[in-house]
Amino acid sequence: MGGCFFVLGMICLLIGVVKILTPAPAGRSRPAVDFPFRGVGRPSFLNPRFPLAPAAASTPLGGQVMVNKIQKLEWIRVGERIYARHPVKGELMVHVLGKITFAELWQQSRGPQVPWVPTGSAFVGFWLEGNMLLLNWQTRYYLLDEAVQISDVDIQRDIAPYARQFAQSDQTADVYFAYPPAMWHIDDIGKFQIEKVEGEGLALRPGAIGRFVHASGDSGRALVVEDYEGSGGQDTAWTGYQITEEDIKSA
């Protein structure tokens, strides 16, 4: 009897040794730990390696799955009239001539080969009679009434160095720069794709991709710079005023 227990014990010991020495199947290996990506910031102007903060999952440019939802001012229609309170000229009743829908873009991680994709959020701009542009982006509203066409050389010389400085701080630094007619504080930078163009007065092509710089000055003054890739649109420096959502009403 004792011999039987001894043999049984040796068999169990041998099985244990075999299990220790046999490698685990590939499909049952220990799961990798997915550490969060630290240090991802907002987009760098003219530097696609610096991404936007993470947002909803999205589909690459040209995909058909992503539906970009307009965040604000979706009630305004081309052909109608609205009231817009201008900080200097007072309340204006203006005809809406055209509409642009901007799809917001971001990168999921750093890297020059990482594609820019829609976040799922869309923002709108309206071309108004009197050569004005009403623009919403996130929580900011702009009534822009002066536009100057600029070139890539102008952007690289006058704006891009300050936008890069802002990007390198993860958009936390107070970056100021002089650009006629004022001194400006950079509030935001980013990238977008023109999703849709309606009405008239807007020389923009759906699908065009561009970058923006939004800046603020004294007395509510605002600067919006649009830099388009290729021939999708005219690079423009808009100046005007930052207003509130309450300053915009239906007529």
52 vs 221, higher pLDDT:
221
64: pLDDT strictly greater than 70:
no
250: pLDDT strictly greater than 80:
yes
144 vs 232, higher pLDDT:
144
Residue type, 63: G
| Average pLDDT value for residue range 38-64 | 34
Give pLDDT, residue 32: 26
Q: Where are the domains of the chain?
A: 69-250
147 vs 61, higher pLDDT:
147
Confidence label for 230 from pLDDT (cuts 50, 70 and 90): confident
CA angle, 239 then 243 then 244, to 5°: 155
Q: How far is the C-alpha of 181 from the C-alpha of 217, rounded, in Å?
A: 10
Tell me the two tokens of residue 163. Answer: 């936008």
Query: Residue 49: CB partners within 8 Å, gap ≥ 6?
Result: 110, 111, 112
Arithmetic mean of pLDDT over the chain: 79
E strands, the chain, in order: 69-70, 81-86, 90-106, 117-128, 132-137, 140-149, 176-179, 182-199, 209-216, 221-228, 236-243, 248-250
> pTM here?
0.73
With CA atoms as reference, report the closest residue to 213 among 182, 171, 181: 171
Confidence label for 93 from pLDDT (cuts 50, 70 and 90): very high
Q: How far is the C-alpha of 55 from the C-alpha of 113, rounded, in Å?
A: 19
| Average pLDDT value for residue range 122-149 | 96
